[in-house]
């Protein structure tokens, strides 16, 4: 069965610091998809990125970057120069080939202090 | 395009009652999935509908059910409510192609007293 682990329950940083959110996954499938979502206090899950298992290229989008390493089954998320607006709960999720159901990690609450 | 909409946003019910939640997907999306979020269990998949058919189901009791209409709108129903059903219920829509990104609505927060 698939599993997603986000070991960091809560992280607190000061504005402009860089922060990395860890995500480790388990799956027996060779084809799978990984996602990151952001959940602000309003509750809605906001999509950030989607990655398939055959694409190990790292990705950068503005202050956000993602490091996908199949060798360690990790899909880590880095925010550079954090801002107060980045404060939210961040979820890593996995879906296996042929199934739409997302398996979520327990989430990491990020607090960015001014 | 308008995003995923869910109604109502908040609900208070008592034990033993039943409740129906509604979800309207993004225009053109044919798949709707439902998730339950609680502090103890986190985010858990309930079920997914595509073209009015349930395609996947999570590990929830039969009290949880759903359906999808021809316009892709979906409803989920919880019968004989229990205190543990208090949660944020999130609906997600996608195009219907497997592994396409799911886009979430704002959720319905249900409190069972």
Four-residue CA torsion sign, B52, A104, A113, A60 = negative
- What is the pLDDT, as a whole number, of residue A55? 87
Contact B43 A44 (CB under 8 A): no
For residues A5 and A75, is the Cβ–Cβ distance under 8 A? no
pLDDT in tens, A19-64: 999 999 999 999 999 999 999 998 999 999 999 999 888 888 999 9
Size of interface A-B (CB pairs under 8 A): 60
Identify the contact set of chain B against chain A, taking CB-CB distances under 8 A: 31, 33, 35, 42-45, 48, 55-56, 58, 88, 90, 92, 94, 98-99, 101-107, 109
Contact A107 B42 (CB under 8 A): yes
């Amino acid at each position: 069965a698939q599993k997603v682990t986000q070991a960091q329950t809560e992280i607190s940083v000061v504005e402009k610091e860089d922060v990395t959110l860890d995500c480790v996954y388990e799956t027996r499938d060779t084809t799978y998809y990984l996602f990151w979502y952001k959940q602000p206090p309003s509750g809605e899950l906001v999509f950030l990125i989607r990655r398939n298992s055959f694409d190990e290229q790292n990705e950068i989008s503005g202050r956000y970057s993602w490091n996908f390493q199949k060798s360690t089954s990790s899909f880590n998320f880095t925010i550079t120069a954090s801002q107060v607006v980045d404060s939210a709960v961040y979820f890593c999720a996995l879906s296996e080939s042929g199934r739409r159901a997302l398996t979520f990690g327990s989430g990491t609450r990020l607090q960015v202090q001014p | 395009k308008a995003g995923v909409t869910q109604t109502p946003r908040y609900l208070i019910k008592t034990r033993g009652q039943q409740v129906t939640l509604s979800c309207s997907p993004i225009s053109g999306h044919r798949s709707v999935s439902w998730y339950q979020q609680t502090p103890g269990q986190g985010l858990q998949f309930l079920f997914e509908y595509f073209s009015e058919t349930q395609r996947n189901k999570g590990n929830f009791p039969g009290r949880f059910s759903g359906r999808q209409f021809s316009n892709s709108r979906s409803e989920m129903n919880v019968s004989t409510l229990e205190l543990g059903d208090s949660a944020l219920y999130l609906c997600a829509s996608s195009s219907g192609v497997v592994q396409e990104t799911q886009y979430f609505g704002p959720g319905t927060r249900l409190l069972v007293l």
